[in-house]
């Protein structure tokens, strides 16, 4: 029977169910054990599964990722938590140079079924290096998936699917919406990693958003006098470009809304793919609404930095009026 959950509860439920079904699934990271993680995503798991399957690690992100790779090579399915995505850069070398390459390096002899979870994005008035959106960095580490859910159901289903993968997954969780809303979560529902979710269909413009920007996109769509199709890619890499392309061919217009800075953000890749595959159907240039190209500010300026409904509405108006 479906249960009402928010995103953080969906993370916990997915971990619990995977650990229940597969004794090789191990959860660890900074404060993950008896404290249940800084956001309490792993609360109760150590008590249920014991200290050997859910435990706290030293504050050493490179070591967390490195030991997880080793565990993966010996048949375990580690799910490691980076306390904040900004800390995960210390693990980037391990993930990019080893985890993502192990299958091709060993000519298929070895797999790395490792999931690295990390709260990402802004909106909680935290320190600036706790608020980053690093999906574009990880999308360049071919050989692993980059997944960003936006709803409790997708969080639950996509995290379980990520843990079951035989290749590494970077699972970025939008912490701004961790506890923002609840919805019915069906524990039996499966969601494919590389399939976009069409949130609502429309005929005038395609609006693409992920993570905490999805609610912003939904609110903005209600403010314009147009039929807006909203797509949540869910998996940043490898992305389901086919669904996006077909939508843009239908609407003739596209806007991309993301939290990371505009220059070099993954929205640029989506825009390029749209130009490559649907340019003859376009009625206007692709519009991008994103954070400015400056370092993430202290929390007093956060509201000026993050994309919001007002900026999203203006972006939609620009592309619709072109």
Q: 142-176 as b/e, with b when 16 or more CB fall inside 10 Å?
A: ebbbbbbbbbbbbbbbbbbbbbbbebbbbbbbbbb
- Whether 120 and 172 have beta carbons less than 8 Å apart is answered as yes
- Catalytic positions: 130
Q: Which residues pair with 235 in a beta bridge?
A: 147
Alpha helix ranges (H) inside the chain: 7-21, 45-49, 61-73, 92-93, 102-105, 135-139, 152-164, 213-223, 241-251, 266-278, 302-305, 309-321
Please give the Cα distance from 285 to 304 (Å, whole number): 25
Is residue 275 helix, strand or coil?
A: helix
């Amino acid at each position: 029977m479906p249960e009402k959950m928010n995103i953080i509860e969906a993370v916990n439920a997915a971990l619990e169910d995977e650990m229940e079904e597969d004794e090789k699934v191990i959860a660890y990271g900074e404060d993950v054990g008896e404290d249940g993680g800084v956001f309490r995503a792993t609360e109760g798991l150590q008590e249920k599964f014991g200290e050997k399957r859910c435990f706290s690690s030293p504050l050493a992100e490179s070591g967390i990722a490195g030991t997880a790779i080793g565990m993966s090579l010996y048949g375990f399915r580690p799910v490691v938590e980076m306390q904040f995505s900004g800390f995960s850069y210390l693990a980037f070398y391990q993930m990019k140079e080893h985890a993502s390459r192990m299958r091709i390096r060993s000519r298929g002899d070895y797999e790395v079924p490792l999931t690295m979870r990390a709260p990402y994005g802004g909106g909680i008035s935290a320190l600036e290096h706790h608020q980053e959106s690093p999906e574009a960095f990880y999308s360049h580490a071919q050989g692993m998936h980059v997944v960003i859910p936006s709803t409790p159901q997708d969080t639950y289903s996509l995290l379980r699917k990520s843990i079951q993968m035989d290749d590494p997954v970077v699972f970025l969780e939008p912490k701004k919406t961790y506890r923002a809303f609840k919805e019915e979560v069906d524990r039996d529902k499966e969601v494919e990693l590389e399939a976009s979710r069409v949130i609502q269909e429309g005929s005038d413009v395609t609006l693409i958003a992920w993570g905490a920007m999805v609610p912003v996109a939904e609110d903005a769509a209600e403010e314009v006098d147009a039929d807006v199709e909203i797509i949540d890619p869910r998996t940043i890499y490898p992305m389901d470009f086919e669904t996006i392309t077909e939508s843009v061919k239908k609407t003739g217009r596209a806007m991309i809304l993301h939290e990371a800075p505009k220059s070099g953000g993954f929205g640029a890749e989506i825009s390029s793919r749209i130009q490559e595959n649907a340019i003859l159907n376009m009625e206007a240039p692709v519009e991008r609404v994103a954070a400015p190209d400056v370092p993430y500010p202290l929390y007093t300026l956060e509201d000026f930095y993050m994309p919001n409904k007002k900026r999203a509405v203006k972006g939609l108006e620009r592309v619709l009026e072109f």
